Structure 1
Amino acid sequence: MFPERELKDLIISAIIIDVIYGYPSVSKMIIALLPIGLGFIFHELMHREVARKFGAISEFRAWYEGLIIGLILKMILGVKFIAPGAVYIYKDYLTVEESGKIALAGPLANILLAILFFLLTLAPEEYLFKIGSTGFDINLFLAGFNLLPIPPFDGEKVIRWNPLIWAIFGIPLLAYVFLRLF
């Protein structure tokens, strides 16, 4: 199901994203590992699987230079810069609709995960509450950030395909991202 290189790229990217997110707090990295790992991996795998449904060859590839830049910026300047890579899609021709649906699949995976993590916040155990609230926040942020309507983000492809669908998902999620930043 997973070529060795793709599996390695997904795992290494998820771990480095977790370090960038939580550094220098080891406890923050431990709490965020599951939400970040699941959010990032499912986001990318949904792109991959929907592309395959449209007859494309698709596979995630890490961008190691971007991951290294992100680590350096976080450790030296305290700035979070996350550019782990992308799902590469190979097909002679993708329609605007196919491209939009492939793009929307990743943020939809994050929305579903956010709902599941929210359910963990209802658990009486404090550790599960922390994982749940972290997972809820991270996954809504990932969905919203990726729906920015500018290249190379998913939102640009979704809005080109169907502005109404982009508005239904993109506007509330971008409002969440904006409010979270301030």
Structure 2
Amino acid sequence: MSIFRFSQREIIDLTISVLAIAFIFSYPNFSILVFIISLIAVGSGFIFHELMHRTVARKYGAWSEFRAWYEGLILGFILKLVFGATFIAPGAVYIYKDYLTPEENGKIALAGPLTNVALAFVFFILMLIFKPGSLLYWIGIFGFHINLFLAGFNMLPIPPFDGEKVLKWNPFIWAIVGLPLIGYMLYMMFW
């Protein structure tokens, strides 16, 4: 299956999910500008993370496609609107193959967080290039932090997160990649 082939349902699910995520991250300071910043910074992190899982799974001959979890999106809206808490569980890439080795499964899982790290680097470059206070600077700073946060969150070694699959496959790689990212995530949450 080609990595460039998208079903109509997948396109709809990705679109709804990314718009919902951008809204959740832009509320309560919602404006078109804040929404666009969220759409670029968070939306790109979400989409590329999920599509990289999908791409690597297809490389291993598995059927894979993103599916939105509408209950999770609704829960995210409710938690944000009622309690001000940010929670996103937009869906996941569903993968099917008769058998995936632990290594294949681990590499599929690792692809998402590593994509967030790569995007964080791109956003960091934006921060360096553009003048503090400019729109692209703010996109850069938000994209940098949120992508490292998403990578760390996804590397938690508990089901259903990517980190659990990576840890099962290769504890050393999980430690090298996951521990610094989880440390950064915790730093962002508590300091």
Quickly name the TM-score band, shorter chain normalised. over 0.9
Of the three residues 59, 71, 76, the one matched with 1:53 is 59
Segments of 5+ residues of structure 1 without an aligned counterpart are none
> How high is the TM-score relative to the length of structure 2?
0.93
Q: 2:23, 2:38 within 8 Å by CA — same for their partners in 1?
A: no
How many residue pairs get aligned? The number is 182
Identity of aligned residues (%): 64
- The answer to whether 1:75 aligns with 2:119 is no
Indicate the residue corresponding to 1:19 in structure 2: 23
Deviation at 1:93, TM superposition (A): 0.7
Deviation at 1:62, TM superposition (A): 0.1
Deviation at 1:80, TM superposition (A): 1.1
CA distance in 2, matches of 1:124, 1:131: 10
Indicate the residue corresponding to 2:174 in structure 1: 166
Indicate the residue corresponding to 1:153 in structure 2: 161
Letter in 2 for 1:4: Q
Indicate the residue corresponding to 2:36 in structure 1: 30
Deviation at 1:29, TM superposition (A): 2.5
CA distance in 2, matches of 1:124, 1:43: 25
- Post-superposition Cα deviations, 1:39-98, rounded to whole Å, max 9, x if no partner, equal 000000000010001110000000011100110110011111111001000100111111
Runs (4+) of structure 1 moved beyond 4 Å?
A: none
- Post-superposition Cα deviations, 1:13-59, rounded to whole Å, max 9, x if no partner, equal 01111111120112433322101111000000000010001110000
- The answer to whether 1:144 aligns with 2:152 is yes
Indicate the residue corresponding to 1:97 in structure 2: 103
Letter in 1 for 2:6: F
Letter in 2 for 1:147: M
Indicate the residue corresponding to 1:6 in structure 2: 10
Letter in 1 for 2:71: E
Indicate the residue corresponding to 1:132 in structure 2: 140
